[in-house]
Structures are given as C-alpha cells and as structure tokens.
Amino acid sequence: MLTFAVLGPFEVRAGDQLINVGGPLPRRLLAILLAAEGQPVSDDSLAEGLWGDRRPRNSAGALQVYVSRLRRVLPGTALQRSASGYRLLAPDTDVTRFRGHLARARALVAGDRPADAHEAFDAALRLWRGEPYEDLADDEWTTAIRAALVEQHDSAQEESAAALLEAGDHAGAVAVLELLVHAAPYRERRWQLLALALYRSGRQADALNAVRRVRTLLAEELGVDPGPELRQLEGRILAQDPALAATGAAAATPGDRPLSSFIGRDADLALLDRLVGMHRLVTVVGPAGAGKTRLAVEWAGRNAVVRLADVTDPAPLVSAVAAAVGVTEFAGDPYEALVKRLRLRGEPLVLDNCEHLAGEVARLVVNLLDRIPALRVVATSRSPLGVDGEHNLPLEPLAADDAVTLLTDRIRAGRPSWSEQDVDRQDLRRLADALDRLPLALELAAARVRTFGVRTLIEHLDDRFTVLGRIPHGTMTPHATLQDAVAWSFDLLSVEERDLAVQLWPYEGGFPLEAAASAAGLRALVSLVDQSVVTAETGGSTARYRMLETIRAYCRSVDRDPAATRTAHAVWVRELVARAVGDLQGVRSATTMAALRLELPNLRAGLAHDLTHAPVEALRTAARLMWFWIRSGLLAEGNRVLTAALAAAPDAPLGDVVRAKTSSAGLLYYTGDVTTARRMLSEAFLAVSLRPGLRSLLAEVRYYQALVQLPGGDPVIALTAAAEAHAIATETQTTWLIAAASMAWGAALVTGGRITDGRHRLRAAVQLADASGLVWTAALSELMLAQTLIDSRDGEALPLLRTSLRRFLDEGDLSNQLAVLHNGALALDAAGDAAGAALLRNIVHFHQAQSGIRPTGRYLQSIVPHGWYEGPPPTQAPTPNDAVAILTGPGRTV
C-alpha cells in the first residue's frame, strides 16, 4: 500500500521503501492533487500550480505526460480524469491519519479516558515532520491550506497537554506547556493550561506568575489585556477555589479494557465513532480474526459489549441481551424490561458476534430501534444484518506497517530482550503477509516466534493451524484456536456455499467472476462475500475476488479430495489460456494481456501442477503463452517452463512439440540468442513441412523463421519464409497472419537490399493491420518502417516511433517498447539530440538489466554505438511512458 507524507518534506512510500516520483514538478503535481483531498483540480489550476507565469507552450500535453508518469510510478493509485480535471481518490496520507487520530482522541476525551486520549493526540502529532506541503508554491490557496493544518496542529498540542493534565500527570504537563508557551506566546489557552498545571502541582505562586507573565507580554507587545478565561482563572487561584484541585484521571472499571496494547485500528475507531454519530445502526463486518470484537471493546469498553458468541439458541436472545445490559429481574416480559432499561441507560447497544443469529438479531434490532427513537446500535458480525438503514464498516486486514508493529510488540511481550534488529524486517513483513495481516493470526504467530524464530515459522505455515497453537486466555475471541475461529464461519455456510469455497482454495492471487461458473455458483459467491469468506475487489474495471490465506488453508484442510480440486483448477487455467491464445494476436490483444497478467499467479500454479501430473498439457499451455511471456518481459520464466515441459513430455504429439520449440525460439530471439533461435526454427520447419495436417502450424513457423533472420540473417530464407507464410495465411483466411506475414515480407525485402519495395510493403502492412484492428502488428510494422528511415533527413522516423511506442504501451508489450526506445535513441542521436538519446538509452539499459530483454539487435537495425549499454545500468530511469514526451520534444513534429 502506498502512503503519502506531506506534513513536512514530501515522501511517498511503499511499506518501508521510499518511492522516487521524479523531480520538483512531478512532486508538486502530486502534492497539489493530495491537497485537494479527492476533489477535481482543473487543468488550468494544475498548470498555474506547476509553472506559474512560465507555462510551456503545450502545457496540456506536458501535464498529461506528468500524470502518465505518476500513474506508472504509483501503481494502484486511483488518479482519475473527469470533466472538471484530475483528482486523486482516497490516498493514504499523513493528513488523513492525523485527522483520524484527532477524531479518536476527542472521542476518548468525551468518553472520560484522558490517558488514552493523550496517547492518541501524541500519535497524531508524531506525524508532523515540518511545514505542510512544502513543495507547493506560496500562493493564496496553498497558504490557506497550510494555515488550516497548522491551526489543527497547534490546537492538538494544547488538547494533548490538557489530556495529560486531566490524566493526573501535572508535572509532565508543566514541562510540555512551558515549551508550548515559548513556541506560541500569544495563544492564551496555553498559558491558562500552564497556570492550572502549576497550581495542581502545588506551585500556587508559580501559577500566579504565569498569568502575570502573559499579562505583561500582551500589554507590552500588543497593548491588550488577557481574555476573560485567564482573568477568571487568576481569581480562582487567588481564592484557592476547591474546584481547581486535581481530581486525577477517571478510574477505569476493573476488567473494562484488554490487557494488551491496541495497534493499527485508530482510523477504524475514528470512523466507527463518526458513523455512530451519523447513523442509528452500524455493523462492523470482517473475516475471522480481523479484530471486530477488539474494536468494539476499545470503542465502548469491555463491560458495555453484549457478547453473543455463547448464545447458541435464538429463544433466549432477548433475555441474554437484557441480562448483559443490567436487567436483573424479569417481572414480566423480558423484552419490555429490555426496552425500559435501554431507554434509561441512554447509551449505544453494542452486540458482538451476531453472525450465527443474524436473522434473530436483525429482527430484535429493528424492533428496538422502532421502540426507542434515541437508541443507536453497534453490531459486529461476519456478515451484514440486512436491516434497512444499516451502515457497514468493513474491517480490512491491518496495513503492512501496522501489522509488523503488532508483531514486534507481541514478540517483545514474550521475549523482552528481543530486538527487531535480531531479524530481517522483510521476514517480519513476509510473516505478516502470509498471515493475511489478521490481528488474531499475528498474535498467535508472535507467541510461536519464541519456539521457532521468524524464518522457520514462515517455512512451516503450510500447517499453520498446528503451528500457531491455542489462543491465550483473556483475549477477545471466544474460540480456542485459529482453526476454530475459521470453522465457526464455515459451519454457518450452506452446503452449496461450502462446496464453492472448497472449489476456490487452489486459486492463487484471486480469481475472476467466471471462476464461480454456474448461476448456482454466482449465488453462492455473493453469499461468501457477504459472510467475509471471500473478499470482493470492485475498484477496477472488472470485479475480482480473493480468499485470505488462512481461509484457503482451512478449505484445503476440509477438502475431501484436494488432488481433484487442484486438477480442476489446472483445467480452468488451460481453458483460460486456450481462449486467450487467439486474442493475443488479434484485436483484443491489449485486453487479453491485461487479463492474463492478473491471472499470472494462477497460470504459474496451473503449469506447476501440469508439469507433474499432465506434462503434455503443460507443454501445450506454455507454448500458447509465447507472446504473453515476450510482451510481459518474462523471457527467462517462459523458457524455464518450456524447457521443463519438453523434458517432461518426450512423447507429446508432434504439433505440440513444434509449437513449444517455436515458442522457445521466439523467447531466445528476444534475449539476443539469435543463433539458437534460427536453429530451432529450422528444425521445426523440417518437422512440419511434410505433414499436410499441420499446414496452419507450418505458416506460423515460416512467419517466425522470417522474423528471426532479422537483422543479419539470410535474406533469401527470410523472403521465402515470409512469402510462404503469407500464401498459406491467405489460403486459410487467417487474418492476423496475413497482416503479420506482409510485415515480415516487407522487412525481408529491406534486408535483401530492396529498400524502396520493402518500405512500400511495410506501409501496406500498417494499413492492413489497422483495417483489421490488429494494433500490435501495426505497431511492429511502424517500428520496422522507422528503422529504414532513421538516417533519412525528412524526420519521418520519429513520428513513426512515437506512434509505435504509444501502441506498444497500450498493448502492454515491454519487449517491443524497449526496441522502439533503442531505435528512438539512434534517431535522436542522428538528429543531434544527444540529451534525448541518453534519456532513452537509460530507459533501455535499466529495463534490459531487470528483464534480460535484448532489444538492440532486433528486426532491421543491429547498430549499437560503442559504450551505449556498457557498465552498470542506472538505478532509476524514466519510464517507457515518459519517452513519449522525449520523442515529442521541442521542434519535433507532433
């Protein structure tokens, strides 16, 4: 999860890692959007904030480039374009956290819990590291935003000191307030609190002196007298008013609070408090172990929560609730006694663990809310109650940093000498992620670190229910083990819902709606989401669903035939790839690439299964994914899978073997091993050339044979292979291959020295591909055409490269993006733009080192000027998306 810090020097972090968003202008753009707090900012306002009076000629285009760069650097960030401008939706900022802590602290003050309030105020103030939004210009809008935040900060300092004073730490309050009055001597409330703290510390004379100090200051520097509150306090100190005496913190009821510290839910507490203030029924929903009960207890106090986990029969529900809220005798109807008690009580009714009695609790809540207009109800449940007017607070897993903090806190509780330096923080993060960052699982894991250590514990989480052991006494959960907590949810499911849950456990990294398959499956899926067994992610263009690892582990443990379930998942993967393979070359290639990337964890799991249990299927699937491996930059992974599958399936049908070798050759070509790629395709050609039933496969092999002869290969082979591929494709009406073979044919003509004929055919290939909606083929044809024009003086190469790059960006093809950028660097170098060429080279060098892609000797250009990609790559470089702006620099044709 990305976090943004603006209360001081601007920072963007992904966990512990600091993210570099670029220079001053990208930082300023992001800060402006963050300062707008989710509201759209017009293009004109953004341009004014970025450049002031020195706007570039094409400020709209430059703004789009910076926005595109931010989207690439900050994946998952909801940076949206609307009619009113750009806006950044719901970012996790230190401003939001600061306000959440303040809301929580003020709720604790209102609940007469000053010590806890002081801790919450302190948590809010620790987020401040300097001047807010220091990257923004000092205009009227920014000044107002800064001033409002600074006022909130200064007020929070005073409220924190007041809470410390009310908690009984008078000496500590004096020390804090002396610093505060020095920092802002005109804020009279600070002097008032200081005088009161001194008086309660037994320092009456010093208290009076504090009032006189501020009177003198105000008179000499401002010519005014102290306000009425300070004057009244002075009189009360002189009169030794008994009401000023220290009363200490309000005593907590024994057993009212849990013994362990509360970590990572301050924002949820503040949101719960706000929701209860606005709505009469709020239900905290979430999976087993998410901490719903603990949140309710922190909000209301242990003795204020009605625990329903042990109420197994709906019949005594009313009596159980009545007894829990203090009804000691039932002279008549227990329901009427409960209504009377709640009217007199005047506090919210908090009902915990409602999921197993959801229908009965819903009916009771509706009746109570109808009978008692002032009543407010807070419920915790693994599914919503389904009551009209209900507002839900979904309790997600802890944020990554909070999960690690909880782990370290609980580990130290069991091993006081333990230090975080004793273990790699990344291992703590891995452990937290493996446990879904669920508080209950983290608590149990922390206790087991004493036995196993962090890394060994991670290695044994396949058997997590055994390893994590029993839940300690005194915790909030009514269950004995984590397995019991999950089983509680599972036992509430219908047979249909359980069957679907068990069917879904093999899915890695989530699954799409289609995985639920039938209408019955869809109904069950809806119910699983409602009951927090499955999580729905609906923020993107399509819905996606996930199971927490702990729930997956439980479903696997109760699966009567896990091998069959794994096989069913592998079959789903095969069918997914079989449907996608045609689209990877067609009009839906960009959409198909995006879908396959989402399913990459499932692809890996399915291939791993089939390599062991169905190697021919693994061979077929891996070969079909050739262009996915290439376009995603996963060249080494694709070749590893293909090599393993060829070894595991020696008796596979010839067609599958040839496709696999063809795919492997394509991957090798993109890594720069052209010699091996050519040899493998020659062998594939010999194997299929005499098989009439494999004529379509022959056309594909010949197409790839033509491609791998570029550059520096045999132009005769390239021309002959491209022509044969085109003839067969025309005969079989294979649309994508007709356009692709036309492109290869044009490239072969150029390689053979017929440059004018080759350019003509490449231009025709672009038109043919565009007419057929084949974006990828059009982009590659433009790249090849541009390669023939790099040294020409008419400047035609750069517009072709720019268009090609945009297409490859849309298609998600990293390999060919880098090929375009290498040739763009050559074109800019030839045009005398050494700086632009260097920027493009940096992008290529950086990604080349990351992915193993070698774009320099591909297609029609094998030129690599001396020293271009030698030495270590840059540690950071512009993204391929930024290169569009570089190729559209000043003086270039747009």
Same domain as 784, residue 669: no
Residue 880 inside a domain? The answer is yes
Instruction: Report the C-alpha gap between 253 and 273 in whole angstroms.
Output: 21
Tokens of 282: 């709020």
Residue 148 inside a domain? The answer is yes
Domain membership of residue 878 as a residue range: 774-894
Tokens of 74: 């900050």
- Count the domains in the chain: 6
Same domain as 547, residue 426: no
Contact of 547 with 556, CB cutoff 8 Å: no
User: What pTM value is reported for the model?
Assistant: 0.66
- State residue 247's pLDDT score: 47
Q: What is the DSSP string of 536-604?
A: EE-SSSS-EEE--HHHHHHHHHH-S-HHHHHHHHHHHHHHHHHHHHHHTTSTTHHHHHHHHHHTHHHHH
- State residue 575's pLDDT score: 94
Report the chain's mean pLDDT, rounded to a whole number.
84
Instruction: Report the C-alpha gap between 11 and 134 in whole angstroms.
Output: 11
Q: For residue 250, which amino acid is it?
A: A
Instruction: Report the C-alpha gap between 579 and 699 in whole angstroms.
Output: 21
The CATH number of whichever domain residue 286 belongs to comes to: 3.40.50.300
Length of the chain, in residues? 894
Same domain as 374, residue 304: yes
- State residue 204's pLDDT score: 86
Please count the other Cβ atoms lying within 10 Å of the Cβ belonging to residue 170: 20
Residue 817 inside a domain? The answer is yes
- State residue 57's pLDDT score: 75
CA distances, 240 to each of 207, 210, 705 (Å)? 11, 16, 99
- State residue 250's pLDDT score: 34
Same domain as 630, residue 505: no
Residue 260 inside a domain? The answer is no
Same domain as 134, residue 17: yes
Contact of 801 with 786, CB cutoff 8 Å: yes
Instruction: Report the C-alpha gap between 695 and 651 in whole angstroms.
Output: 21
Tell me the helix, strand and coil percentages in the chain, rounded to 5: 65, 5, 30
Residue 479 inside a domain? The answer is yes
- State residue 524's pLDDT score: 92
Domain boundary among 394, 415, 439: 394
Find the farthest-apart pair of alpha carbons in the chain and give their distance in angstroms, rounded: 113
The CATH number of whichever domain residue 655 belongs to comes to: 1.25.40.10
Instruction: Report the C-alpha gap between 681 and 370 in whole angstroms.
Output: 78
The CATH number of whichever domain residue 82 belongs to comes to: 1.10.10.10
Q: What value, to the nearest 5°, has the Cα angle with vertex 275 and ends 270 and 278?
A: 130
Domain boundary among 447, 465, 483: 483
Same domain as 550, residue 441: no
Same domain as 151, residue 3: yes
Ranges of residues in the chain whose predicted pLDDT is under 50: 247-255, 890-894
Same domain as 448, residue 321: no
The SS3 assignment for 349 reads: strand
Residue 212 inside a domain? The answer is no
Q: What is the DSSP code (8-state) at residue 480?
A: S
Same domain as 144, residue 14: yes
Domain boundary among 343, 363, 394: 394
Same domain as 271, residue 382: yes
Residue 709 inside a domain? The answer is no
Instruction: Report the C-alpha gap between 302 and 474 in whole angstroms.
Output: 12
Contact of 290 with 438, CB cutoff 8 Å: yes
Residue 823 inside a domain? The answer is yes
CA distances, 628 to each of 193, 813, 846 (Å)? 67, 9, 21
β-bridge mates for residue 307, sequence order: 352
Dihedral angle, C-alpha 276, 282, 283, 289, nearest 10 °: -10
Same domain as 410, residue 340: no
- State residue 476's pLDDT score: 57
Instruction: State whether the Cα torsion 752-754-756-762 is positive or negative.
Output: negative
Contact of 399 with 303, CB cutoff 8 Å: no
Same domain as 824, residue 890: yes
